[in-house]
Amino acid sequence: MILNGKAALVTGASRGIGREIALELARQGANIAVNYSGSEAKANEVVTEIKALGREAFAVQCNVSNAESVTNMVKSVIEEFGSLQILVNNAGITRDNLLMRMKEEEWDDVINTNLKGVFLCTKAVSRQMMKQRSGRIINIASIVGISGNPGQANYVAAKAGVIGLTKTTAKELASRGITVNAVAPGFISTDMTDKLTEEVREAMLQQIPLARFGDPADVAGVTAFLASDTSAYMTGQTLHVDGGMVM
Amino acid sequence: MADVVERVTKIVVDRLGVEESEVKLEASFKEDLGADSLDVVELVMELEDEFGMEISDDDAEKIVTVGDAVNYIKSTM
């Protein structure tokens, strides 16, 4: 186990990729704060699964776009675990629409959760990590933040923003022993991608050299690596977990 | 309130690795004491812990010299 006894906060951990990340970090020995926004029951299921692995875990409600709420969440995690070594900024939403049809509200919602949320959570944990002189921040971006994607102007802008934020935070905090990296998943099978039509799925597969959709476990494994001491000499990087789609 | 000056001085000496004699009230953390921006952020964090207070981002930005820190702390006591 590469994360024995470390304390981690995973945002958006009740479902999909975040859920798998929370479980994988726990399998690697970490205690986990399972953040959720609306899905309390699902978050509690994740907590139960983590406890069954013999780790500590608790669910913490917080909308990451709200500064006060984020501050309170981080305080409660540090109180509970006594320290905080790992933050995984995973919480994200989609409000897809063509640029010409996109409402201001759709733009704002996605930017607030997917980009501002990363800023707020990172700011809130940086104090503790600076004092510790150690920390790992892993931002879940997206391959579309690099390649662009029609119908997702808001999501793509937010994810590209996260990649820039990752690099800047990495430079600012490097001298204090904190590394900041991003993971850019490609098409990963989750509730989000299950909604796609068969036709769209076929077209997507054509673009993936490894010829399959990713599994949340593919992203979780790379995230655990970035959270571990094995990746100590990496910071500011964005790792593509996309079956080779974007090189 | 010499106590405040002493306590602030000790933190500055520990954090920035400067001589006590250099830590004068008019000394600027960045210009005179060799601190970078992140050092000042950390100093403010330590002052918060030492004096059991919270210093807002707006107020923290106004703390440039040792005297600024001392005066701010005194004003909240």
A194: alpha, beta or left, given left = phi > 0 and alpha = psi -120 to 50? Answer: alpha
- A64: annotated binding-site residue? yes
Instruction: Supply the pTM of this predicted model.
Output: 0.94
Q: Which residue of chain A is at minimal alpha-carbon distance from B45?
A: A127
CB-CB contact of A34 with A10 (8 Å): yes
In angstroms, the separation between the Cα of residue A198 and the nearest Cα of chain B is: 51
- Provide the pLDDT for residue A220: 98
Contacts of A29 (CB under 8 A, 6+ apart): A1, A2, A3, A4, A5, A6, A55
Contacts of B45 in chain A (CB under 8 A): 127, 130-131
* Residue A133 at interface with chain B, using a CB cutoff of 8 Å: no
Hey, are the CB atoms on A172 and B45 less than 8 Å from each other? no
* A128: closest chain B residue by CA: B45
Residue in chain B nearest A171 by alpha carbon = B38
Give A138 to chain B, closest Cα distance, Å. 21
CA A138, CA A177: separation in Å to the nearest integer? 14
A191 pLDDT more than 80: no
Catalytic residue among B3, B14, B32, B36: B36
* Residue A186 pLDDT greater than 60, yes or no: yes
Q: Which residue has the higher pLDDT, B1 or A100?
A: A100
Q: Is A67 on the interface with B (CB under 8 A)?
A: no
Cα gap A3→A23, rounded to integer Å: 12
Region A10-22: what's the mean pLDDT? 97
Res A192 pLDDT > 70: no
Q: Compute CA distances A117 → A55, A63, A67, A162, A221, whole Å.
A: 27, 8, 8, 10, 23
Residues of B in contact with A120 (CB under 8 A): none
Tally the domains of chain B.
1
Query: How far is residue A16's CA from residue A42's CA, in Å, rounded to a whole number?
Result: 11
What CA–CA distances, in Å, run from A196 to A103, A149, A199?
22, 15, 8
Evaluate the CA torsion angle A85, A75, A221, A199 in order and state its sign: negative
Contacts of B11 (CB under 8 A, 6+ apart): B43, B46, B47, B50
The two beta strands, A238-241 and A57-61, are unpaired
Q: Which domain holds residue B15?
A: 1-76
Q: Is A222 assigned to a binding site? A: no
Q: What is the pLDDT of residues A58-87, one digit of tens each?
A: 999 999 999 999 999 999 999 999 999 999
Q: By CA distance, what is B48's nearest residue in A?
A: A127
Listed by number, the residues of chain A in 158-177 with a beta carbon closer than 8 Å to a beta carbon of chain B are 172, 175-176
Q: Which residues of B touch A119 (CB under 8 A)?
A: none
The CATH number that applies at residue B34 is 1.10.1200.10
Handedness of CA A164, A166, A171, A172 (dihedral sign): positive
The per-residue pLDDT for B56 is 92
Tens of pLDDT along A91-114? 999 999 999 999 999 999 999 999
A154 is an annotated ligand-binding site residue: no
Q: What is the arithmetic mean of pLDDT over A184-208?
A: 86
By the 8 A CB rule, do A219 and A23 touch? no
The percent of residues in chain A predicted with pLDDT above 70, rounded, is 100
Look at residue A190 in the predicted model and tell me its pLDDT.
81
- pLDDT tens digits, residue range A116-174? 999 999 999 999 999 999 999 999 999 999 999 999 999 999 999 999 999 999 999 99
Residues in CB range of A134: below 8 A, 6 or more apart: A85, A177, A178
The domains of chain A, with CATH numbers, are 7-188+215-240 (3.40.50.720)
> How far is B36 from chain A, CA to nearest CA, in Å?
11
Residue A26 has pLDDT above 60, yes or no: yes
- Determine, for residues A131 and B38 on separate chains, whether the beta-carbon distance falls below 8 Å: no
d(CA A230, CA B34): 34
Mean pLDDT of chain A: 96
Which of A68, A119, A130 to probe the B interface (max B CBs under 10 A)? A130
Contact B55, B28 (CB under 8 A): no
Name the minimum distance, in Å, from the CA of A120 to any CA of chain B: 14
Q: Are the C-beta atoms of residues B69 and B47 closer than 8 Å to each other?
A: yes
Please, what's the b/e burial string for B45-66 (b: 16 or more CB within 10 A of its CB; e: otherwise)? bebeeebeeebeeeebeebebb
Report the pLDDT value the prediction gives residue B1, as an integer from 0 to 100.
Answer: 53
Has A112 been labeled as part of a binding site?
Answer: no
Ligand-binding annotation for A6, yes or no, is: no
pLDDT, residue A204, reads 85
> For tokens 């005179």, what's the residue?
B32
CA separation for the pair B74, B56 (Å, rounded) = 16
Q: Are A32 and A22 in contact (CB under 8 A)?
A: yes
What percentage of chain A carries pLDDT values higher than 90?
A: 93
Longest dimension (CA), chain A: 52
Question: Measuring CA to CA, which residue among B4, B24, B3 is closest to residue B73?
Answer: B4
**3-class SS of residue A193:** helix
